Structure 1
């Protein structure tokens, strides 16, 4: 009996899974393998919210495989060593893996190829499993990657997508292959109280609901903070319980302005991945340095207020409290919170990026770090010195104040748009609010930022 191994990483699904399809086509039996990577555990990336969501995803993957006569094999330790051990135990002659652009994934792939070759086993890496269009599939004539989104999106839109694959009806797994227990969400402590559920079943139900009930209005409502009208599919794309190829294909099949706007967001995800693939140091170093000398005076105190949602600017505080409560934040909220830290407080973007990664269930190195750099003006933004005014943004994207009143209950009794400027309320009214005064004057902060960037 021939055996192939499928190493699952950030592709925790059965629908539209090219590595699994190739393994089933090429062998009599398949080992669906997930390795709990000790290096990720030591890196600080395996935070409670993502660990709990991952446990859901692995449980769902195991259940789906059992419905098809198989099961998920779980190991812990060094990924390369565990894959090689499974190859030895089963006599497998090929390992299948989804390609990933991060420096760590590239290093893992090189080590795997070297060790498996020494064992006489092939490694096949499949692209466009975690991307709709793989990094490097489209490039400009003069560079190895696109540094500006608009020309990238034009090329990305014209790139032919592969067909969507059906989930297998049956998966035959070799007898006797040892496995640890599948992780359980209940074993993870310290998660956000309203953390979403993970797993492919949940992902597919959410996608179906989104296509049926939210997609058409997306172009008009995606920035509506109180309306909560985004797809919330980002955690499922991050863990691979949904295929980005399938999301794009089904949205395009649905059609309309909402679908076009949604597909554009999927393209942004691929854009950041192709930047990071070409410039892996951008996960920590400025993609385009502005020679910033980030503010140090009172920085720790101000950063603490920002993290706790106590800056005195309600729209920023609402976004930060949503992050703490849900392990997720509305995209417009992310932009406002990031701009406030990096430009209004003139604090190193890496401080904010780390805090987001500590809590975001969809915390993806490429999208998190490069979106932070975009906002900070050290990344791919063609207007690097723009500063988002939190009051003006609040009036535009939360005009009635409903988003603020939900997440900042101290202000729940302040009616209408006045909730965005509580410091202007009469003294008697303000004294009854358990809410701080603004930690910084916006005009002074803008002057400081412009001087720091040499714009005055």
Structure 2
């Protein structure tokens, strides 16, 4: 009986898993996950993602055991550990999902070279972690799309592969050693409201949201207090849900809400193809504006206030406090907090992107970095100098103030619209909100500074 290894990376599921399907055909299979030392050394681990990952691995192991198998967990260099497992089991091939980052591409090249030197084969499968593979679509004049609308037009015309069911049985060779499964217990720095990870949790949410939530998505996805987004992003980041299956199932539901949701999945693929073509955009301006971002003690004090949710602008502070408590933030909140840091405070987008990656359970390099660049005006936005006014935005997307009151308890007794502008209170009314701070900067002053810095005045 031939033996295959399935190397799980950011595809921690059994449903719609092409590498597992291919490896499992008339073979013994080693389902392997390596706790990658390279990822740790690069500083990309964060408590919230480690906790969610532990949930995912435990759930994946449970699913495999229901089918007669189990998950093999190792730690170290991925190439070394895969080759060790191949030698131990006499595996002649390895299957894995394609990845697009520069680090993943280097890892894949090293792994292919090491396996082939030992007479083994590496099979890399596209459309496991994306609906349309990065590089599958490109305009005639470039290696990638730099504007979303034409990309989406082409993306919408792609015939996606069919989604696959989970295997009924997985047979693992005897005697394959494994470390203990990690657990979120004992991890420090985990957000108190962090969601549960794993395919079972993801599929339960997918079923309920596509039944009860997606119909209203077009109208309510920007409603801060309504919490009407899918919250699938952590599951997409860890691959406990398949983007291909999500597109198929949303299209089966149909309607404006489903169409708007599918468009968001296309945005995810858009960012991945941008970063695949321009990996330096993870740390450098995609389209530089030659900004001379603020630095020094004053800027550092502003950044700390922004991180702590004490800017004096309630909707910004509410979003930042949600991030700290849940390890997740509403997408409208992400836009508002990023615009405020980069344009109102005129602080380097990399400062904000780095802090988000410290806390976000869905901390995805492509989406996080390129969305930050979008709001900073250094990315793919066709209106790079737009500035989101946090008061106007709050009144539009949190008109009753429920989102602010939920996350900023100092303001819980205020009604709209004053809950969005507490600095207008006077006397005893102002004293009643305790030590909630005055605004760090007047919005008109922040806008004038930004325009002057960009040469727009």
Give the shorter-chain TM-score range.
Answer: over 0.9
Structure 2 residue ranges without an equivalent (≥5): none
Determine the structure 1 residue equivalent to 2:288: 289
1:34 and 1:145 map into 2 onto residues whose CA distance is 31
Alignment partner of 1:260: what SS?
helix
2:237 and 2:88 map into 1 onto residues whose CA distance is 31
Q: How far did 1:59 drift?
A: 0.2
Q: How far did 1:428 drift?
A: 2.2
Q: How far did 1:415 drift?
A: 1.2
Determine the structure 2 residue equivalent to 1:250: 249
Determine the structure 2 residue equivalent to 1:392: 392
Alignment partner of 2:94: what SS?
strand
Determine the structure 1 residue equivalent to 2:405: 405
Map 1:145-294 to 2 at 5 A.
145-294=144-293
Determine the structure 2 residue equivalent to 1:3: 3
Alignment partner of 1:186: what SS?
coil
Q: How far did 1:281 drift?
A: 0.4
Determine the structure 1 residue equivalent to 2:431: 431
2:173 and 2:191 map into 1 onto residues whose CA distance is 39
Q: Flag as ranges the 4+ runs of structure 1 deviating above 4 A.
A: none
Q: How far did 1:432 drift?
A: 2.4
1:355 and 1:69 map into 2 onto residues whose CA distance is 42
2:421 and 2:125 map into 1 onto residues whose CA distance is 52
2:391 and 2:410 map into 1 onto residues whose CA distance is 18
Determine the structure 1 residue equivalent to 2:75: 76
Structure 1 residue ranges without an equivalent (≥5): none
2:154 and 2:43 map into 1 onto residues whose CA distance is 36
Alignment partner of 1:195: what SS?
coil
CA RMSD for the aligned pairs? 0.7
- Deviation string, structure 1 residues 300-358 (Cα, Å, up to 9, x no partner): 10000000000000000000000000000000000000000000000000000000000
Q: How far did 1:45 drift?
A: 1.1
1:243 and 1:39 map into 2 onto residues whose CA distance is 25
Alignment partner of 1:197: what SS?
coil
Determine the structure 1 residue equivalent to 2:126: 127
- Deviation string, structure 1 residues 357-378 (Cα, Å, up to 9, x no partner): 0000000000000000000000
2:141 and 2:158 map into 1 onto residues whose CA distance is 19
2:186 and 2:287 map into 1 onto residues whose CA distance is 42
- Deviation string, structure 1 residues 136-158 (Cα, Å, up to 9, x no partner): 11111111000000000000000
1:28 aligns with 2:59: no
Determine the structure 2 residue equivalent to 1:44: 43
1:71 and 1:119 map into 2 onto residues whose CA distance is 26
1:105 and 1:187 map into 2 onto residues whose CA distance is 29
2:326 and 2:380 map into 1 onto residues whose CA distance is 29
Determine the structure 2 residue equivalent to 1:303: 303
1:399 and 1:425 map into 2 onto residues whose CA distance is 18
Alignment partner of 1:63: what SS?
helix
Alignment partner of 1:60: what SS?
helix
2:308 and 2:193 map into 1 onto residues whose CA distance is 17
2:417 and 2:83 map into 1 onto residues whose CA distance is 61
Q: How far did 1:418 drift?
A: 1.0
2:386 and 2:210 map into 1 onto residues whose CA distance is 34
2:366 and 2:416 map into 1 onto residues whose CA distance is 38
TM-score by length of 2: 0.99
Q: How far did 1:416 drift?
A: 1.9
TM-score by length of 1: 0.99
Determine the structure 2 residue equivalent to 1:365: 365
- Deviation string, structure 1 residues 80-120 (Cα, Å, up to 9, x no partner): 00000011111111100100111110010000011011011
Determine the structure 2 residue equivalent to 1:105: 104
1:188 and 1:339 map into 2 onto residues whose CA distance is 32
